[in-house]
Amino acid sequence: MDRLLSTADAALRTLFARPRASRICPTLPAEQGVLDAQDRQLSGALMRVNHVGEVCAQALYTGQALATRDPGLKAHYEAAGLEETDHLAWTAERLEELGARPSLLNPLWYAGAFALGFAAGKVSDKVSLGFVVETEKQVAAHLDSHLERLPRDDQASRAIVAQMRDDELRHAREAEAAGAVRLPAPVRGIMRAAAKVMTTTAHRI
């Protein structure tokens, strides 16, 4: 019961509370550029997609932590989730600065990601870690594409995305070191397709 209540609390905090970062946002005031209306709109859409990704990251790690019976692995997921909270806070703050809103479908994204994380965790811990590896690698590639698309003058968003990418790649390496198995190609393909649907939708809604 305690674990279920904790899981519900994590969902409510992710979706409705203002996230608080434990690390300073990797943006310096001197890096702030002046964006025209078109660039501001593009940055807002891209950062909304990134914010959705962090909502999903919270859900995935929460679902995996609930599913595992290994105390050490549970602690690993919880620690990674705390670091992802920094990303959630940074992207939420940047959305406000750009005058953009979060995705209206965040509860749906959270529910789907939680279900996937919990299901992967119930298959086995090694598969669950493999899910982390593949997810984080796909997210890092996605963030690389955003670094190419973000306006050059939006150094604030670019600094956040670059730090997020580095953190995601580290999470993938840590999961590999913890014993992750490589997921089958069809599963990786389905994950890419699902991510494409999510990012395309979140860009607008």
Task: Tell me what the mean pLDDT of segment 34-48 comes to.
Answer: 91
Q: What is the pTM of this model?
A: 0.88
Q: For 49-72, how does the pLDDT look when each residue is reduced to its tens digit (9 = 90+)?
A: 999 999 999 999 999 998 999 999
Give pLDDT, residue 157: 92
Q: For 120-167, how does the pLDDT look when each residue is reduced to its tens digit (9 = 90+)?
A: 889 999 999 998 999 999 999 999 999 999 998 898 999 999 999 999
Indicate the pLDDT class of residue 26, thresholds 50, 70 and 90. Answer: confident
Position 100 pLDDT exceeds 80: yes
Q: Where are the domains of the chain?
A: 37-202
Evaluate whether the domain defined by 37-202 bears CATH number 1.20.1260.10: yes
Give pLDDT, residue 31: 53
Give pLDDT, residue 4: 66
Q: Which is it for the CA torsion 176, 125, 83, 197, positive or negative? A: positive
